[in-house]
Structure 1
Amino acid sequence: MAFSHHLLVTLFFSAFVVGGFAQLTPTFYDDTCPNVTTIVRGVIKGALKTDPRIAASLIRLHFHDCFVITALEDACPGVVSCADILAIAAEESVCLSGGPSWPVPSGRRDSLTANRTLADEVLPNPFMTLDELKTNFLNNQGLNSTDLVALSGAHTFGRAQCQTFSRRLYNFSGTGSPDPTLNTTLLETLRKICPEGGNGSVITDLDQTTPDAFDNKYFSNLEVEYGILQTDQVLFSTSEADTTTIVNRFSADQNAFFDSFVASMIKMGNIRVLTGNEGEIRSNCRRVNGDISGVSSGGLVAKY
């Protein structure tokens, strides 16, 4: 099963955008659906046995959420929002792949409208400079450089399509030459996978060392110019950038990365969510209730 790459931020901007910062709590379902985490974890464990790559897709909100919904509907129908399911699924996918575990603040409601336009506005594309990343992802969302680097660390597993990085291999910024911040050995490898003018949908690992594990090898890769996406490598290679020090710290100390990742996930999970009587609890995570048009909403993500 091949999945296109999505930045982690899609997790929190596809099903429940609108509103301000919310106060969520890990105990929200203690009375109404106490086994929600156990149920979600069970579904994901089963999926991982079939395809370990599903973990990276879960954390980027590109997965078949119907399986989780079906399991939850049997236990507590109409109780758990798709937005919360996705947040819990992201945590479980990280934990089951060797990463940290954390209590997921819950209580989100699902949006009443599709948000493709807003998602496209807030999602970085893989060709941005560091300054563009900060403007798009940080300044507009109230996050900081540590959040950016920590959340980018989710690229420690997952895959990317050739079309998302091929310009780095052949004609970077119109120079007719490869990106000078791309390791020459990696360049040769990627050119074999993604020949010039070839199939742009071919995929390769974002982390060439431990592709299915959630660890800090992503940052070690950046230090030797093994970042696949431009938006990854700029975190380390941009001159005098504050993110370089953060990359070095996370590369040297996996626990520091894990701690920051958890904090940033929780922080991002409180941005622009619906709570209380706002929104709805969707019966199908890929469309608003009552939508018979077949047009996805909650499942919409901006692909690159």
Structure 2
Amino acid sequence: MASIVIQFFAIFSVIFLFACATNAQLSPSFYSSTCPNLQGIVRNAMRQAISREPRMGASILRLFFHDCFVNGCDASVLLDDTASFTGEKNAFPNQNSIRGFEVIDTVKSNVEAACSGIVSCADILALAAREGVLLLGGPSWTVPLGRRDARTASQSTANSNLPPPTASLSSLISLFAAQGLNARDMTALSGAHTIGQARCSSFRTHIYNETNINPNFATLRKRTCPGPASGTGDNNLAPLDILSPNRFDNGYFQDLLVRRGLMHSDQELFNGGSQDSLVRLYSNNFRAFANDFANAMVKMGNISPLTGSNGEIRTNCRVIN
């Protein structure tokens, strides 16, 4: 009888350990022994990228967001299309929009040189997003690690899950809620638009056809964003934060108070709705915004990660092994 009990507990222990391995939680110290210099490697590569082009901080942050909202933070957004595989890069919200893939390639190459086959592309993207924010004057946060990389992607999910620039406030709240993020998280994360630029095609309707916009601001933006009848200018860029597009501050929220939100979805955050008071708070208190943004980034980074034996550690972030 005793031997049966011992065997039972031995089997149970194996099952328990396997379950823990396959459902492992993310941890900031995940690579402390296997790749101890990881964060410094990512930081140095991002510093070089941003010194060449400050906009890249915003681009990598957006890349992380567009990854996490499609089946979780699994680096699926980095996969290239092949003859037999359709990825997410050409989903409608991503076409001619997401960028920075070559920066992630460089970071991955540097990491592989130090710790071959150890660190996932998903974790590299999560760390790079934080470093970009920090290097542009924004807050830091502790990044939980241990994600693995997806072996597949979903263009259809990208088309349905990613908020369009025409989204209403209720739509934004619903799309974020579907990812486990509340309205406060949504508004704080929207503050990522305090850095970076947007294409004319994403804000043309707002500046030409809508009334909830400062008329002088609309006139300014029309100078480089021709009307729809022109058939030109789709890729012309404008700063999301008119005064400090390369500085992570609370200028975005200050712009919203005076109706200078570049896209319809931006100005929806301050349009007589439920987020008006929060926008006012963030516009006056950078620390409150920075704290909420950092907390929301951690929450977003925890969306459905692959861990344990799920997925893989890609050698090249653009293709499965």
Q: TM-score range by the shorter chain?
A: 0.7 to 0.9
SS in 2 for 1:46: helix
Partner of 2:278: 246
Matches for 1:199-238 after TM superposition, within 5 Å = 199-237=233-271
SS in 2 for 1:235: coil
* Superposition deviation, residue 120 in structure 1: 2.0
Q: Which has the higher contact order (CA 8 A, sep 6+)?
A: 1
Determine if contact 2:224/2:233 at 8 Å carries over to the other structure: no
Unaligned runs of 5+ in 2: 1-22, 64-98
Partner of 1:37: 39
Q: For residue 149 of structure 1, what is the amino acid of its counterpart? A: T
Q: For residue 69 of structure 1, what is the amino acid of its counterpart? A: K
2:313 to 278, 281, 294: 281
Partner of 2:187: 149
Matches for 1:57-136 after TM superposition, within 5 Å = 57-61=59-63, 62-63=99-100, 64=102, 65-136=104-175
Partner of 1:53: 55
Question: Going by fraction, where is helix more abundant, 1 or 2?
Answer: 2
Provide the C-alpha distance between the structure 1 equivalents of 2:159 and 2:191, rounded to a whole number of angstroms.
21
Give per-residue Cα distances to partners, 1:155-208, cap 9 Å, x unaligned.
Answer: 0011100000101222x3xxxxxx111111111101111121231111111110
Determine if contact 2:176/2:183 at 8 Å carries over to the other structure: no
Q: For residue 47 of structure 1, what is the amino acid of its counterpart? A: A
Provide the C-alpha distance between the structure 1 equivalents of 2:164 and 2:319, rounded to a whole number of angstroms.
25
Provide the C-alpha distance between the structure 1 equivalents of 2:240 and 2:125, rounded to a whole number of angstroms.
22
SS in 2 for 1:160: strand
* Superposition deviation, residue 22 in structure 1: 7.1
TM-score, normalization by structure 1 = 0.83
Determine if contact 2:200/2:225 at 8 Å carries over to the other structure: yes
Determine if contact 1:111/1:274 at 8 Å carries over to the other structure: yes
TM-score, normalization by structure 2 = 0.79
SS in 2 for 1:204: strand
The percentage of aligned residue pairs carrying the same residue is 44
Partner of 2:88: none
The alignment status of 1:187 with 2:226, answered yes or no, reads no
* Superposition deviation, residue 283 in structure 1: 1.1
Partner of 1:269: 301
Partner of 1:3: none
SS in 2 for 1:236: coil
Give per-residue Cα distances to partners, 1:215-249, cap 9 Å, x unaligned.
Answer: 11110000001100111100011x3x221111111
Partner of 1:159: 197
Determine if contact 1:123/1:137 at 8 Å carries over to the other structure: no
CA RMSD in angstroms, aligned pairs only: 1.2
SS in 1 for 2:131: helix
Q: How many residues align?
A: 259
* Superposition deviation, residue 86 in structure 1: 0.4
Q: For residue 45 of structure 2, what is the amino acid of its counterpart? A: V
Determine if contact 2:195/2:245 at 8 Å carries over to the other structure: yes
Provide the C-alpha distance between the structure 1 equivalents of 2:293 and 2:124, rounded to a whole number of angstroms.
19
Q: Which shows bigger deviation, 56-65 or 36-45?
A: 56-65
* Superposition deviation, residue 119 in structure 1: 2.1
Unaligned runs of 5+ in 1: 1-20, 173-178, 290-304
Determine if contact 2:225/2:236 at 8 Å carries over to the other structure: yes
Q: For residue 249 of structure 2, what is the amino acid of its counterpart? A: D
